[in-house]
Amino acid sequence: MSIEDREDDDGESGFNPDRIISAISRRWRLAAGIACATTLAAITVTVLLPNRYEAAATLQLDPRKKNVSNVEGVVSDLNVDTAAIESEAEVIRSRKILLKVIDRLNLRNDPEFNQSSLFESLFGSLAVPPTNAAARNASNDPAYPRRDEFAMAFAKNLKVSRVRNTLLLEIKFSSADADKAALIANTIADVYIAEQLAAKSGISETATSLLDGRLEALRKKVSEAESRVEAYKSEQNIFASEGQILSEKELARWMEQTVGARNRSAEMRARYERVKELRTSGRPTSAIADVLASHTVRLLKDKLADASRRKAELSTRYGKRHPEMIKVRAELRDAEQQLDREINSLISNLENEYVEAASRERELLAGLEEKKGEEAKRRAANVRLNELEREAETSRQVYSVLLARYKENAATQSLQLPDARIVEQADTPTSPAAPKRKQIIALAAAGGLALGLALILALEFAAPGIGRPEEAEGLLALEHISSLPRLENATDESGDPLRATRLMIAAPTSGFAEAIRALRREIDVRQLDPGPRIILIAASLPGEGASVVASNLAHYYAQTGDRVVLVDADLRRANLTRQLAPQRSAGLAEVLNGVMPPEHAVLRDQLTNLHFLPATGGGLVPTRQAELLATAAMPKALGRLKSQFDTIVIDAPPLLPVIDTRIIADYADQIVFVMAWRRTPKQLARKAMKLLSVNEDRITGVVVNQVDTDVLANDSGIELVSGSRQPESVLAA
């Protein structure tokens, strides 16, 4: 993976469990110290806190019907649902209930709830002028509500909650006195039930009073409506019998009589017309007798028939002159005469009856028409009568309903039952409910430990650079070839700055020296071409320790017998030159300017056999350093040094501030990039490596410098120590 491929990576691959465990193992004392401090503070606080006792009374809301008189009351039973239960809990917490409890138990002078005197004594000198609202409260003005501070302080100790999903409400009260807590909890429950009954009775009494006033008005209204009905009936001559108006009954009788007369007249006319038709047509008397249907006629017909039969019988035995025949003929004539007379009489009577029935029918029809006219007028009057009667009936119904409700309410006013009952009274608690010392201490310890761990992680991950050396590989896409420990004391007791640059001589057994040895091996095994080589030590920014790495690496090469020269190529600052050769007379700048060949400017350390080419002589620092390094004299000088030395170690300027290192990198065989642990910002490190992308194939790897010894010891399991041998410097031309 190239530097460009890694440019958009945020470099946070180091956020892993191993790094977290490593950070905790290195700084566990910090977390332990914070946890101990918070625990001690919690213990101190809990010891100073006073004990508080909590007593609980339990109420059950009862939605069942409880009306003793078996009559529906004005106040309905409680409809229990979640909203109703929460509402009842708020009623228990209401100021009205609490004030009644306070007054019943005479708690106004209780110092536990009366905090005003304490506040006045502490802050009386800092009193603020009262606001308008406070002034009104102080003056007890009834036009404005008052703020009862005592009730507010009292309410803070009360908790009312529903027991899971049941109909139970738990009333908890906390106090410094266990007996007082139980007494107040039970009193609150009693006052709540008493207030519930009082509210029901009050509502019922109010309803009774309202109904009483309304009934009196309705009673007058009903009386007036009935009076108007009777007065109108008398005015219109409307009378009733057995629930029916008399005129209607009379009209019905007239109609019934008229119908009867019409039927009789029709019947008489039909019989009369039939008889007349039979007589006119010459029909025999017997046919007319059948129409008349008279008993006398039937007897006469029977007599005539009997005479005719005997005549027929005798005519077979006797002659016409026989006395019996004469007698029979006389009887037959007599019967016929009697029948004719009877029929004539009946026909005359039938005619008279027909005339009479027709006359009766006409009379009844005339009377019926007159009654109909009277009934039409009466019905017109009944419209108004019905309206008056409906109004009176409506008033009577409303009056009856309200009268019944009034009597029911009056009967049940003193028979109300509460919608709640006390299931369990509060007992005096035997152990304090607060403060929960064990929980507070445990939470404080856990919180302190969590705070300490959070601080450790913040210190670990809030640093601008990498947290673990191996993260450099993921950040820069380079091999991590060495980690150098932090130099706790860069100078010795006398303040000699040579200790850090010559630590391989001063402390050859230290962890830093071992890391330099490991670095040399990684550089050697990655040498591409055999023969003399130029090793460039580069860093992103000043202060990352590239000069210390270059100096100690060159000293180690010299210790092992290699012909090595250390070149200070930082013509601008010349840090190594000021430390290793403060008395120099010439340097790389003079060589590049053609004043002398490089071998004449090289100094040698007689102790380590290290050769050193300073940056400049003792004169003025040259200007236009980049242009000087870019001249043809630079590769010529390095070529002459290659012909005389096996290894050339170049301490280069920082990559980001100046361009010098990019120029020198073109001549290097191996480039070692140095970055400071937790100091070099990741973005700047990537940017510096991008500047070396032209010579990417020559980059040997990355060295993480100034790593905390705890990190290295945690990774390797070996404690790093430093020696105490004092270096000596004897550099000569």
Which is nearest to 602 in space by CA: 578, 625, 581? Answer: 581
Q: Which tens digit of pLDDT belongs to each residue from 241-275?
A: 555 555 667 777 778 888 888 787 887 777 777 77
Q: Which pair of tokens denotes residue 674?
A: 């140095």
Bridge partners (DSSP) listed for residue 422: 59
Q: How open is the CA angle 601-602-603, to the nearest 5 degrees?
A: 115
Name the average pLDDT for the chain. Answer: 79
SS (H, E, C) 173-232: EEECCHHHHHHHHHHHHHHHHHHHHHHHHHHHHHHHHHHHHHHHHHHHHHHHHHHHHHHH
| Pairwise CA distance, residues 704 & 481, whole Å | 9
Residue 453 gets which letter from DSSP? H
Q: Which tens digit of pLDDT belongs to each residue from 294-337?
A: 677 778 777 778 878 887 887 777 777 788 788 878 888 887 78
More confident residue, 723 or 149: 149
Taking the C-alpha atoms of 662, 667, 671 and 677 in order, what is their torsion angle to the nearest 10 degrees?
Answer: -30
According to the model, what pLDDT value does residue 498 have? 76
Q: Is residue 123 pLDDT above 50, yes or no?
A: no
Radius of gyration of the chain (CA): 67
Q: Does the global pTM surpass 0.85?
A: no
Q: Is residue 521 pLDDT above 90, yes or no?
A: yes
Q: Which tens digit of pLDDT belongs to each residue from 401-430?
A: 888 877 777 776 666 777 888 999 999 998
According to the model, what pLDDT value does residue 493 have? 38
